[in-house]
Structure 1
Protein backbone atom coordinates (compact mmCIF):
# COMPACT_ATOMS: atom_id res chain seq x y z
CA UNK A 1 0.00 0.00 0.00
CA UNK A 2 1.29 3.46 -0.90
CA UNK A 3 1.90 6.02 1.81
CA UNK A 4 0.73 9.28 0.25
CA UNK A 5 2.66 12.13 1.79
CA UNK A 6 1.38 15.68 1.65
CA UNK A 7 4.16 17.73 0.13
CA UNK A 8 3.87 19.50 -3.18
CA UNK A 9 6.54 21.64 -4.77
CA UNK A 10 4.16 24.56 -5.23
CA UNK A 11 4.29 24.92 -1.42
CA UNK A 12 7.85 26.21 -1.87
CA UNK A 13 7.41 29.98 -2.12
CA UNK A 14 9.81 32.15 -4.11
CA UNK A 15 10.63 35.86 -4.01
CA UNK A 16 12.03 37.18 -7.31
CA UNK A 17 14.15 40.35 -7.33
CA UNK A 18 15.04 41.22 -10.93
CA UNK A 19 15.20 44.62 -12.62
CA UNK A 20 14.77 43.49 -16.24
CA UNK A 21 11.09 43.00 -17.07
CA UNK A 22 11.75 40.42 -19.80
CA UNK A 23 13.70 38.21 -17.40
CA UNK A 24 11.17 38.78 -14.64
CA UNK A 25 8.39 37.48 -16.88
CA UNK A 26 10.40 34.45 -18.00
CA UNK A 27 11.50 33.51 -14.49
CA UNK A 28 7.95 33.86 -13.15
CA UNK A 29 6.54 31.79 -16.01
CA UNK A 30 9.06 28.99 -15.49
CA UNK A 31 8.63 28.96 -11.72
CA UNK A 32 4.87 28.64 -12.09
CA UNK A 33 5.26 25.76 -14.53
CA UNK A 34 7.54 23.93 -12.12
CA UNK A 35 4.94 24.27 -9.39
CA UNK A 36 6.65 26.90 -7.26
CA UNK A 37 4.62 29.69 -5.70
CA UNK A 38 5.82 33.19 -6.62
CA UNK A 39 4.98 35.34 -3.59
CA UNK A 40 6.73 38.52 -4.67
CA UNK A 41 8.14 40.23 -7.77
CA UNK A 42 10.20 43.36 -7.23
CA UNK A 43 12.49 45.29 -9.56
CA UNK A 44 14.38 47.82 -7.45
CA UNK A 45 16.07 48.33 -4.11
CA UNK A 46 13.24 50.35 -2.57
CA UNK A 47 10.76 47.54 -3.24
CA UNK A 48 13.21 44.80 -2.34
CA UNK A 49 13.81 45.84 1.27
CA UNK A 50 10.18 45.58 2.45
CA UNK A 51 9.67 42.42 0.37
CA UNK A 52 12.59 40.75 2.14
CA UNK A 53 11.65 41.94 5.62
CA UNK A 54 8.10 40.65 5.07
CA UNK A 55 9.77 37.22 5.34
CA UNK A 56 6.97 35.33 3.57
CA UNK A 57 9.17 33.32 1.19
CA UNK A 58 11.18 30.10 1.37
CA UNK A 59 13.85 31.01 -1.17
CA UNK A 60 14.77 34.12 -3.16
CA UNK A 61 16.12 34.66 -6.66
CA UNK A 62 18.18 37.82 -6.57
CA UNK A 63 19.85 39.79 -9.36
CA UNK A 64 23.35 40.76 -8.25
CA UNK A 65 23.25 44.08 -10.09
CA UNK A 66 20.00 45.95 -9.57
CA UNK A 67 20.12 48.80 -12.08
CA UNK A 68 23.86 48.38 -12.51
CA UNK A 69 24.77 48.44 -8.82
CA UNK A 70 26.05 45.67 -6.57
CA UNK A 71 23.12 46.24 -4.20
CA UNK A 72 22.11 42.61 -4.66
CA UNK A 73 25.08 41.53 -2.57
CA UNK A 74 23.90 43.53 0.44
CA UNK A 75 20.38 42.17 0.01
CA UNK A 76 21.83 38.67 -0.14
CA UNK A 77 23.58 39.24 3.19
CA UNK A 78 20.27 40.28 4.72
CA UNK A 79 18.55 37.12 3.47
CA UNK A 80 21.26 34.69 4.55
CA UNK A 81 22.46 36.31 7.77
CA UNK A 82 19.36 37.95 9.23
CA UNK A 83 16.61 35.67 7.90
CA UNK A 84 18.79 32.56 7.52
CA UNK A 85 17.15 31.55 4.27
CA UNK A 86 18.59 30.29 0.98
CA UNK A 87 18.88 32.53 -2.05
CA UNK A 88 20.18 32.32 -5.60
CA UNK A 89 22.24 35.02 -7.25
CA UNK A 90 21.17 35.78 -10.83
CA UNK A 91 24.12 36.91 -12.92
CA UNK A 92 25.29 37.13 -16.53
CA UNK A 93 28.40 35.07 -15.74
CA UNK A 94 30.02 33.13 -12.91
CA UNK A 95 33.78 33.62 -12.59
CA UNK A 96 36.39 33.82 -9.84
CA UNK A 97 35.81 37.54 -9.32
CA UNK A 98 32.09 37.06 -8.78
CA UNK A 99 32.69 34.11 -6.45
CA UNK A 100 35.05 36.15 -4.26
CA UNK A 101 32.87 39.26 -4.36
CA UNK A 102 29.73 37.42 -3.30
CA UNK A 103 31.24 34.99 -0.78
CA UNK A 104 30.33 37.12 2.25
CA UNK A 105 26.66 37.02 1.26
CA UNK A 106 26.73 33.18 1.32
CA UNK A 107 24.62 32.44 -1.79
CA UNK A 108 23.25 28.91 -2.00
CA UNK A 109 23.44 28.76 -5.81
CA UNK A 110 23.94 30.80 -8.97
CA UNK A 111 21.70 31.13 -12.02
CA UNK A 112 23.46 32.37 -15.14
CA UNK A 113 21.52 34.29 -17.79
CA UNK A 114 20.50 33.24 -20.35
CA UNK A 115 19.23 30.07 -18.71
CA UNK A 116 17.12 27.06 -19.66
CA UNK A 117 14.05 25.97 -17.64
CA UNK A 118 15.99 22.89 -16.52
CA UNK A 119 18.87 25.02 -15.19
CA UNK A 120 16.40 27.11 -13.17
CA UNK A 121 15.02 23.98 -11.55
CA UNK A 122 18.54 22.68 -10.90
CA UNK A 123 19.56 26.00 -9.34
CA UNK A 124 16.66 25.90 -6.89
CA UNK A 125 17.31 22.28 -5.99
CA UNK A 126 21.04 23.02 -5.62
CA UNK A 127 20.27 25.97 -3.35
CA UNK A 128 18.13 23.78 -1.09
CA UNK A 129 20.83 21.10 -1.15
CA UNK A 130 23.60 23.52 -0.16
CA UNK A 131 21.44 25.34 2.38
CA UNK A 132 20.35 22.12 4.10
CA UNK A 133 24.02 21.17 4.48
CA UNK A 134 25.16 24.61 5.63
CA UNK A 135 27.20 25.10 2.45
CA UNK A 136 27.59 28.03 0.09
CA UNK A 137 27.82 27.85 -3.69
CA UNK A 138 31.50 28.21 -4.58
CA UNK A 139 31.00 27.76 -8.33
CA UNK A 140 28.26 26.91 -10.77
CA UNK A 141 29.68 23.44 -11.28
CA UNK A 142 28.90 22.57 -7.66
CA UNK A 143 25.27 22.33 -8.69
CA UNK A 144 26.06 18.90 -10.10
CA UNK A 145 26.26 17.56 -6.55
CA UNK A 146 22.49 17.79 -6.14
CA UNK A 147 21.44 16.44 -9.54
CA UNK A 148 20.65 12.95 -8.27
CA UNK A 149 18.07 14.17 -5.78
CA UNK A 150 15.30 16.71 -5.35
CA UNK A 151 13.52 18.37 -2.45
CA UNK A 152 9.88 18.64 -1.47
CA UNK A 153 8.61 20.79 1.35
CA UNK A 154 6.78 19.03 4.18
CA UNK A 155 5.56 21.48 6.77
CA UNK A 156 8.52 23.63 7.77
CA UNK A 157 11.21 21.26 6.56
CA UNK A 158 12.62 20.08 3.25
CA UNK A 159 12.78 16.38 2.49
CA UNK A 160 15.45 15.17 0.10
CA UNK A 161 14.48 12.34 -2.25
CA UNK A 162 17.10 10.46 -4.23
CA UNK A 163 16.15 9.67 -7.82
CA UNK A 164 17.83 6.28 -7.42
CA UNK A 165 15.10 5.42 -4.89
CA UNK A 166 12.25 6.34 -7.23
CA UNK A 167 10.43 3.30 -8.62
CA UNK A 168 7.58 4.86 -10.57
CA UNK A 169 6.23 8.14 -11.91
CA UNK A 170 2.47 8.24 -12.35
CA UNK A 171 0.58 10.94 -14.22
CA UNK A 172 -2.36 12.73 -12.62
CA UNK A 173 -3.43 15.40 -15.14
CA UNK A 174 -1.04 18.31 -14.41
CA UNK A 175 0.59 16.55 -11.47
CA UNK A 176 2.96 13.63 -11.08
CA UNK A 177 3.01 11.05 -8.30
CA UNK A 178 6.58 10.09 -7.45
CA UNK A 179 6.64 6.66 -5.80
CA UNK A 180 9.73 5.48 -3.93
CA UNK A 181 11.06 2.04 -3.07
CA UNK A 182 9.77 2.54 0.48
CA UNK A 183 6.21 2.91 -0.79
CA UNK A 184 6.08 6.66 -0.14
CA UNK A 185 4.28 8.73 -2.78
CA UNK A 186 4.95 12.43 -3.27
CA UNK A 187 2.74 14.64 -5.44
CA UNK A 188 4.40 17.43 -7.42
CA UNK A 189 2.71 20.00 -9.63
CA UNK A 190 4.37 19.09 -12.90
CA UNK A 191 3.01 17.06 -15.80
CA UNK A 192 4.57 13.67 -16.45
CA UNK A 193 6.18 14.84 -19.69
CA UNK A 194 7.59 17.98 -18.08
CA UNK A 195 8.96 15.87 -15.25
CA UNK A 196 10.66 13.57 -17.75
CA UNK A 197 12.06 16.40 -19.85
CA UNK A 198 13.16 18.90 -17.21
CA UNK A 199 13.04 17.59 -13.64
CA UNK A 200 14.73 14.20 -13.89
CA UNK A 201 18.46 14.92 -14.32
CA UNK A 202 19.72 14.34 -17.84
CA UNK A 203 22.23 11.73 -16.67
CA UNK A 204 19.40 9.56 -15.33
CA UNK A 205 16.67 10.04 -17.95
CA UNK A 206 17.55 6.89 -19.87
CA UNK A 207 17.00 4.89 -16.68
CA UNK A 208 13.31 5.81 -16.70
CA UNK A 209 11.08 4.34 -19.38
CA UNK A 210 7.42 4.86 -20.16
CA UNK A 211 5.34 1.66 -20.05
CA UNK A 212 1.87 3.10 -20.65
CA UNK A 213 0.28 6.47 -21.13
CA UNK A 214 0.25 7.28 -17.42
CA UNK A 215 3.26 5.48 -15.91
CA UNK A 216 7.04 5.53 -16.13
CA UNK A 217 9.24 2.95 -14.41
CA UNK A 218 12.82 3.07 -13.19
CA UNK A 219 14.47 0.19 -15.06
CA UNK A 220 16.61 -0.81 -12.07
CA UNK A 221 13.46 -1.99 -10.26
CA UNK A 222 12.04 -4.13 -13.08
CA UNK A 223 12.69 -7.74 -12.09
CA UNK A 224 10.95 -9.44 -15.00
CA UNK A 225 8.50 -9.04 -17.85
CA UNK A 226 5.55 -11.44 -17.79
CA UNK A 227 3.29 -11.08 -20.80
CA UNK A 228 2.12 -7.48 -20.81
CA UNK A 229 3.23 -6.73 -17.26
CA UNK A 230 6.44 -5.31 -15.79
CA UNK A 231 7.04 -6.85 -12.39
CA UNK A 232 8.88 -5.12 -9.54
CA UNK A 233 9.46 -6.45 -6.03
CA UNK A 234 6.13 -5.15 -4.76
CA UNK A 235 3.88 -4.53 -7.74
CA UNK A 236 3.03 -5.35 -11.34
CA UNK A 237 2.50 -2.63 -13.96
CA UNK A 238 0.61 -2.91 -17.23
CA UNK A 239 2.61 -2.40 -20.43
CA UNK A 240 0.62 -1.22 -23.43
CA UNK A 241 1.44 -2.19 -27.02
CA UNK A 242 2.73 1.30 -27.83
CA UNK A 243 5.60 0.97 -25.37
CA UNK A 244 6.43 -2.76 -25.25
CA UNK A 245 9.03 -2.69 -28.05
CA UNK A 246 11.00 0.23 -26.64
CA UNK A 247 10.91 -1.34 -23.17
CA UNK A 248 12.28 -4.67 -24.41
CA UNK A 249 14.93 -2.87 -26.45
CA UNK A 250 16.09 -0.85 -23.45
CA UNK A 251 16.19 -3.96 -21.27
CA UNK A 252 18.03 -5.91 -24.00
CA UNK A 253 15.25 -8.49 -24.22
CA UNK A 254 15.42 -10.50 -27.44
CA UNK A 255 12.11 -11.97 -28.59
Structure 2
Protein backbone atom coordinates (compact mmCIF):
# COMPACT_ATOMS: atom_id res chain seq x y z
CA UNK A 1 0.00 0.00 0.00
CA UNK A 2 1.41 3.37 -1.01
CA UNK A 3 0.74 6.94 0.05
CA UNK A 4 -1.49 9.36 -1.83
CA UNK A 5 0.83 11.26 -4.20
CA UNK A 6 0.26 15.03 -4.33
CA UNK A 7 1.62 17.72 -6.64
CA UNK A 8 1.75 21.34 -5.43
CA UNK A 9 1.64 24.02 -8.14
CA UNK A 10 2.54 27.40 -6.61
CA UNK A 11 4.84 30.11 -7.96
CA UNK A 12 5.77 31.47 -4.52
CA UNK A 13 8.36 28.95 -3.40
CA UNK A 14 8.15 29.82 0.30
CA UNK A 15 4.43 29.00 0.25
CA UNK A 16 4.99 25.92 -1.91
CA UNK A 17 7.66 24.56 0.43
CA UNK A 18 5.44 25.21 3.44
CA UNK A 19 2.56 23.31 1.87
CA UNK A 20 4.86 20.42 0.97
CA UNK A 21 6.24 20.22 4.52
CA UNK A 22 2.74 20.14 5.99
CA UNK A 23 1.63 17.44 3.54
CA UNK A 24 4.67 15.33 4.35
CA UNK A 25 3.99 15.77 8.05
CA UNK A 26 0.42 14.60 7.47
CA UNK A 27 1.78 11.46 5.84
CA UNK A 28 1.29 12.09 2.12
CA UNK A 29 3.86 11.55 -0.62
CA UNK A 30 4.78 14.97 -2.01
CA UNK A 31 6.31 15.64 -5.40
CA UNK A 32 8.75 18.44 -6.20
CA UNK A 33 6.54 21.54 -6.51
CA UNK A 34 5.94 23.15 -9.91
CA UNK A 35 5.90 26.92 -10.37
CA UNK A 36 3.95 27.23 -13.61
CA UNK A 37 1.70 25.50 -16.12
CA UNK A 38 4.49 23.98 -18.20
CA UNK A 39 6.43 22.57 -15.22
CA UNK A 40 3.24 21.13 -13.80
CA UNK A 41 2.44 19.26 -17.01
CA UNK A 42 5.96 17.82 -17.16
CA UNK A 43 5.62 16.52 -13.60
CA UNK A 44 2.14 15.13 -14.25
CA UNK A 45 3.40 13.23 -17.28
CA UNK A 46 6.40 11.86 -15.41
CA UNK A 47 4.95 11.15 -11.97
CA UNK A 48 1.18 10.63 -12.43
CA UNK A 49 0.04 12.22 -9.15
CA UNK A 50 -3.21 11.23 -7.43
CA UNK A 51 -4.09 14.84 -6.65
CA UNK A 52 -2.88 18.39 -7.25
CA UNK A 53 -3.06 21.60 -5.23
CA UNK A 54 -3.23 24.50 -7.70
CA UNK A 55 -2.66 28.15 -6.99
CA UNK A 56 -5.06 30.10 -9.21
CA UNK A 57 -2.58 32.91 -9.85
CA UNK A 58 0.50 31.55 -11.60
CA UNK A 59 3.26 33.28 -13.50
CA UNK A 60 3.11 32.84 -17.27
CA UNK A 61 0.42 32.96 -19.94
CA UNK A 62 -1.64 30.15 -18.41
CA UNK A 63 -2.84 30.14 -14.80
CA UNK A 64 -4.14 27.55 -12.36
CA UNK A 65 -7.59 27.54 -13.94
CA UNK A 66 -6.10 26.68 -17.33
CA UNK A 67 -4.12 23.90 -15.68
CA UNK A 68 -7.24 22.59 -13.95
CA UNK A 69 -9.05 22.32 -17.29
CA UNK A 70 -6.11 20.39 -18.75
CA UNK A 71 -6.08 18.02 -15.76
CA UNK A 72 -9.83 17.51 -15.97
CA UNK A 73 -9.91 16.89 -19.73
CA UNK A 74 -6.67 14.95 -20.26
CA UNK A 75 -5.59 13.37 -16.97
CA UNK A 76 -8.74 13.11 -14.85
CA UNK A 77 -7.63 13.29 -11.23
CA UNK A 78 -8.82 15.51 -8.34
CA UNK A 79 -7.41 18.96 -7.63
CA UNK A 80 -7.75 21.67 -5.00
CA UNK A 81 -7.67 25.37 -5.79
CA UNK A 82 -5.44 27.49 -3.60
CA UNK A 83 -6.32 31.19 -3.54
CA UNK A 84 -6.30 34.36 -1.45
CA UNK A 85 -7.99 36.96 -3.61
CA UNK A 86 -9.60 36.52 -7.00
CA UNK A 87 -11.60 38.86 -9.19
CA UNK A 88 -15.17 38.13 -10.25
CA UNK A 89 -14.10 36.95 -13.71
CA UNK A 90 -11.67 34.40 -12.27
CA UNK A 91 -14.28 33.13 -9.82
CA UNK A 92 -16.69 32.56 -12.70
CA UNK A 93 -14.02 30.57 -14.53
CA UNK A 94 -13.37 28.50 -11.42
CA UNK A 95 -17.07 27.77 -10.83
CA UNK A 96 -17.40 26.18 -14.27
CA UNK A 97 -14.88 23.53 -13.22
CA UNK A 98 -16.86 22.43 -10.14
CA UNK A 99 -13.63 21.88 -8.19
CA UNK A 100 -13.69 19.10 -5.58
CA UNK A 101 -12.37 21.47 -2.87
CA UNK A 102 -10.93 24.93 -2.15
CA UNK A 103 -8.13 26.04 0.13
CA UNK A 104 -8.05 29.71 1.09
CA UNK A 105 -4.85 31.51 2.14
CA UNK A 106 -3.84 31.80 4.91
CA UNK A 107 -4.64 28.26 6.01
CA UNK A 108 -3.88 25.92 8.90
CA UNK A 109 -2.65 22.34 8.89
CA UNK A 110 -6.14 21.05 9.65
CA UNK A 111 -7.54 23.08 6.73
CA UNK A 112 -5.10 21.41 4.34
CA UNK A 113 -5.89 17.93 5.65
CA UNK A 114 -9.63 18.57 5.40
CA UNK A 115 -9.32 19.89 1.85
CA UNK A 116 -7.47 16.78 0.70
CA UNK A 117 -10.08 14.52 2.31
CA UNK A 118 -12.97 16.47 0.81
CA UNK A 119 -11.35 16.53 -2.62
CA UNK A 120 -11.07 12.73 -2.72
CA UNK A 121 -14.67 12.24 -1.62
CA UNK A 122 -16.12 14.90 -3.91
CA UNK A 123 -14.12 13.67 -6.87
CA UNK A 124 -15.43 10.14 -6.37
CA UNK A 125 -19.01 11.43 -6.15
CA UNK A 126 -18.59 13.58 -9.27
CA UNK A 127 -17.65 10.44 -11.18
CA UNK A 128 -20.74 8.63 -9.97
CA UNK A 129 -18.61 6.48 -7.70
CA UNK A 130 -20.38 5.98 -4.40
CA UNK A 131 -18.44 5.22 -1.27
CA UNK A 132 -17.68 1.61 -1.91
CA UNK A 133 -16.68 0.47 1.53
CA UNK A 134 -17.35 2.68 4.52
CA UNK A 135 -14.60 5.31 4.42
CA UNK A 136 -12.66 3.67 1.60
CA UNK A 137 -12.97 4.87 -1.99
CA UNK A 138 -12.58 3.10 -5.31
CA UNK A 139 -11.27 5.71 -7.75
CA UNK A 140 -10.03 4.84 -11.22
CA UNK A 141 -7.14 2.39 -10.88
CA UNK A 142 -6.84 2.22 -7.08
CA UNK A 143 -8.58 1.74 -3.77
CA UNK A 144 -8.00 4.60 -1.35
CA UNK A 145 -8.13 2.96 2.06
CA UNK A 146 -8.47 5.03 5.20
CA UNK A 147 -6.15 3.96 7.99
CA UNK A 148 -5.44 6.09 11.05
CA UNK A 149 -7.39 9.03 9.56
CA UNK A 150 -5.31 9.12 6.38
CA UNK A 151 -6.00 7.73 2.91
CA UNK A 152 -3.52 5.24 1.50
CA UNK A 153 -3.54 3.84 -2.02
CA UNK A 154 -3.68 0.22 -3.16
CA UNK A 155 -3.30 0.01 -6.93
CA UNK A 156 -5.74 -2.47 -8.44
CA UNK A 157 -2.98 -4.02 -10.56
CA UNK A 158 -1.19 -5.00 -7.32
CA UNK A 159 -4.17 -6.92 -5.92
CA UNK A 160 -3.84 -10.69 -6.34
CA UNK A 161 -7.22 -11.63 -4.92
CA UNK A 162 -9.91 -10.61 -2.45
CA UNK A 163 -11.58 -12.79 0.16
CA UNK A 164 -14.83 -12.22 1.99
CA UNK A 165 -14.61 -12.38 5.78
CA UNK A 166 -18.08 -11.73 7.19
CA UNK A 167 -18.58 -7.94 7.03
CA UNK A 168 -15.01 -7.37 5.86
CA UNK A 169 -12.98 -7.94 2.69
CA UNK A 170 -9.42 -9.22 2.90
CA UNK A 171 -7.28 -7.71 0.13
CA UNK A 172 -4.14 -9.70 -0.72
CA UNK A 173 -1.46 -7.80 -2.65
CA UNK A 174 1.68 -8.62 -4.60
CA UNK A 175 3.96 -7.47 -1.77
CA UNK A 176 2.58 -10.24 0.45
CA UNK A 177 0.46 -7.90 2.54
CA UNK A 178 -3.15 -8.36 3.64
CA UNK A 179 -5.37 -5.30 4.05
CA UNK A 180 -8.74 -5.41 5.77
CA UNK A 181 -11.58 -3.22 4.55
CA UNK A 182 -15.21 -3.19 5.55
CA UNK A 183 -17.84 -4.03 2.94
CA UNK A 184 -19.58 -6.61 0.76
CA UNK A 185 -17.47 -8.62 -1.68
CA UNK A 186 -20.46 -8.86 -4.03
CA UNK A 187 -20.98 -5.10 -4.19
CA UNK A 188 -17.28 -4.36 -4.43
CA UNK A 189 -16.56 -6.98 -7.10
CA UNK A 190 -19.18 -5.42 -9.39
CA UNK A 191 -17.17 -2.21 -9.41
CA UNK A 192 -13.82 -3.75 -10.34
CA UNK A 193 -12.32 -3.88 -13.87
CA UNK A 194 -12.88 -6.80 -16.23
CA UNK A 195 -9.67 -8.56 -15.24
CA UNK A 196 -11.20 -9.31 -11.82
CA UNK A 197 -13.32 -12.47 -11.82
CA UNK A 198 -15.51 -13.97 -9.11
CA UNK A 199 -14.48 -17.60 -8.56
CA UNK A 200 -16.44 -18.36 -5.43
CA UNK A 201 -18.94 -16.67 -3.12
CA UNK A 202 -15.98 -15.81 -0.91
CA UNK A 203 -13.28 -15.06 -3.51
CA UNK A 204 -12.58 -12.65 -6.39
CA UNK A 205 -9.29 -12.96 -8.28
CA UNK A 206 -7.19 -10.72 -10.48
CA UNK A 207 -6.72 -12.98 -13.50
CA UNK A 208 -3.49 -11.17 -14.41
CA UNK A 209 -1.86 -12.93 -11.45
CA UNK A 210 -3.31 -16.38 -12.21
CA UNK A 211 -0.67 -19.08 -12.72
CA UNK A 212 -2.86 -22.11 -13.39
CA UNK A 213 -6.46 -23.29 -13.32
CA UNK A 214 -8.46 -26.51 -13.24
CA UNK A 215 -12.11 -27.25 -12.57
CA UNK A 216 -11.67 -27.03 -8.79
CA UNK A 217 -9.32 -24.13 -8.12
CA UNK A 218 -7.09 -21.35 -9.45
CA UNK A 219 -3.39 -21.14 -8.56
CA UNK A 220 -1.99 -17.70 -7.65
CA UNK A 221 1.57 -17.55 -6.32
CA UNK A 222 1.32 -21.08 -4.98
CA UNK A 223 -2.06 -20.52 -3.30
CA UNK A 224 -5.19 -22.45 -4.25
CA UNK A 225 -8.26 -20.23 -4.70
CA UNK A 226 -11.41 -22.37 -4.87
CA UNK A 227 -13.85 -22.27 -7.77
CA UNK A 228 -17.49 -22.61 -6.74
CA UNK A 229 -19.81 -24.65 -8.93
CA UNK A 230 -22.07 -21.64 -9.47
CA UNK A 231 -19.14 -19.66 -10.90
CA UNK A 232 -17.20 -22.39 -12.77
CA UNK A 233 -18.82 -22.28 -16.21
CA UNK A 234 -18.89 -18.52 -16.42
CA UNK A 235 -15.30 -18.22 -15.22
CA UNK A 236 -13.96 -20.79 -17.70
CA UNK A 237 -15.89 -19.14 -20.51
CA UNK A 238 -14.52 -15.70 -19.66
CA UNK A 239 -10.91 -16.84 -19.71
CA UNK A 240 -11.58 -19.05 -22.77
CA UNK A 241 -10.77 -22.36 -21.18
CA UNK A 242 -12.57 -25.21 -22.94
Task: Output the TM-score relative to the length of structure 2.
Answer: 0.51
**Contact 2:124–2:139, Cα closer than 8 Å, also in 1:** no
Match of 1:66 in 2: 58
| Match status 1:122 vs 2:114 | yes
> 1:44 Cα shift?
2.1
The answer on whether the counterparts of 1:13 and 1:36 sit within 8 Å (CA) in structure 2 is: yes
Matched residue, 1:157: 142
Preserved CA contact (<8 Å) 2:37 2:62? no
With CA pairs under 8 Å and 6+ residues apart, which has the higher RCO, 1 or 2? Answer: 1
Residues 151-230 of structure 1: pairs in structure 2 closer than 5 A? 156-159=141-144
| Structure 2: distance between partners of 1:158 and 1:104 | 28
Quote the residue 1:111 is aligned against.
Answer: 103
Shift of 1:153: 7.9
Partner deviation per Cα, 1:21-50 (whole Å, 9 max, x = no partner): 111111001100111101231112331221
**RMSD across aligned positions (CA):** 3.7
1:80 equivalent among 59, 66, 72: 72
Partners of 1:30 and 1:153 in 2: CA distance: 26
Report deviation, 1:81: 1.6
TM-score by length of 1: 0.49
Change (3 A) 1:150 1:97: farther
* Change in 2 beyond 3 A, CA 1:36/1:82: same
* Residue 49 in structure 1 maps to residue 41 in structure 2: yes
How far did 1:156 drift? 3.4
Distance 2:140 2:125 in 1: 19
Q: CA deviation at 1:80?
A: 1.2
- Corresponding residue pairs, total: 150
Three-state SS of the structure 2 residue aligned to 1:133 is helix
Tell me the equivalent position of 2:123: 131
Tell me the equivalent position of 2:6: 14
Structure 2 CA distance for aligned equivalents of residues 184 and 39 of structure 1: 32
5+ residue gaps, structure 2, are 128-133, 149-166, 171-242
Deviation of residue 55 (structure 1)?
A: 5.2
C-alpha distance in 1, partners of 2:62/2:18?
22
Contact 1:18 1:24 in 2 (8 A): yes
- 8 Å contact kept, 1:125–1:150: no
Deviation at 1:58, TM superposition (A): 0.2
1:155 Cα shift? 9.6
Q: Deviations over 1:149-205 (max 9, x none)?
A: 8657899334476xxxx9xx7xxxxxxxxxxxx6789xxxxxxxxxxxxxxxxxxxx
- Contact conserved, 1:76 with 1:106, CA < 8 A, in 2? no
Cα distance between partner residues in 2 of 1:129 and 1:96: 27
When you count helix as a share of all residues, which structure comes out higher?
A: 1
Change (3 A) 1:155 1:81: closer
Deviation (angstroms), 1:131: 0.3
